[in-house]
């Protein structure tokens, strides 16, 4: 719904279901029927998160790419701001920003403010600490230079991918939250 409610019209919304065993596909199919020209569902047998994200990238045609996981959601009216940032800064390859940490019910806990990007600092403390997968957008042409997500990674695939994606790229940080990350406390 956070993608559907964006104020930017030219969105290619691809949802990849990676073999879920609950009623996710049924729920998504209701949205596809309601918005047939706005959502595309791709289902596959469980191949892991990295493979699912790559399927989305490989089936996309847009000039600007991003992904968001199933329990996170974008901030209101953020896509137009992202597109404007790319338009106003034609030499920029990547735009990233802050995120809002929420509880499981979507109540704001705090805003996580990223620092300006520094490749060396990211190498030292970890790309997953410097960039957040739900709050980064990049131009498609970077994929032809760096490749897709390494599907041998089951965890921290975003960190390794961002290490390749950001190397020698022109990066701009925006000073507003892009997405919401739902924090789920560990169950006992």
The owner of tokens 């047939």 is 36
Q: Please give the pLDDT value at position 187.
A: 52
Q: Is 63 in contact with 36 (CB distance < 8 Å)?
A: no
Q: Say how many Å lie between the first and final Cα of the chain, rounded.
A: 31
Q: Please give the pLDDT value at position 188.
A: 47
> In this structure, what are the phi and psi dihedrals at residue 126, rounded to the nearest 5 degrees?
105, 135
pLDDT under 70: residue ranges of the chain: 187-188
Q: Please give the pLDDT value at position 52.
A: 95
Q: 31: which 2 tokens?
A: 């949205």
Q: 151-179 burial by CB neighbour count: b if 16+ within 10 A, else e?
A: eeeeeebbbbbbbbbbeebebbbbeebbb
Of the candidates 181, 157, 173, the residue with the CA atom closest to the CA atom of residue 49: 157
Model pTM score: 0.92
Q: 65: which 2 tokens?
A: 């790419």
Angle value at C-alpha 9, between 107 and 101, nearest 5 degrees: 20
Q: Please give the pLDDT value at position 163.
A: 95
Angle value at C-alpha 48, between 45 and 50, nearest 5 degrees: 125
Q: Please give the pLDDT value at position 184.
A: 80
Cα distance between residue 137 and residue 28, in whole Å: 24
Bridge-based pairing of strands 171-182 and 73-74 is antiparallel
């Amino acid at each position: 719904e956070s993608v559907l409610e964006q104020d930017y019209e030219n969105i290619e919304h691809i949802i990849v279901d990676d073999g879920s065993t609950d009623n996710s596909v049924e729920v998504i199919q209701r949205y596809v029927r309601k918005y047939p020209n706005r959502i595309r569902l791709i289902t596959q047998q469980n191949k892991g998160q990295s493979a699912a994200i790559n399927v989305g990238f490989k089936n996309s045609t847009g000039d600007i790419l991003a992904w968001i996981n199933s329990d996170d959601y974008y901030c209101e009216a953020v896509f137009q701001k992202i597109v404007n940032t790319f338009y106003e800064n034609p030499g920029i390859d990547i735009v990233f920003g802050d995120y809002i940490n929420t509880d499981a019910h979507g109540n704001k806990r705090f805003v996580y403010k990223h620092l300006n990007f520094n490749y060396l600092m990211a190498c030292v403390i970890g790309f997953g600490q410097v960039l957040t997968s739900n709050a980064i957008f990049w131009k498609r042409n970077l994929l032809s230079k760096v490749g897709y997500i390494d599907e041998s990674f089951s965890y921290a695939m975003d960190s390794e991918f961002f290490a390749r994606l950001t190397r020698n790229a022109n990066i701009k940080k925006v000073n507003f939250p892009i997405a919401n990350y739902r924090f789920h406390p560990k169950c006992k």
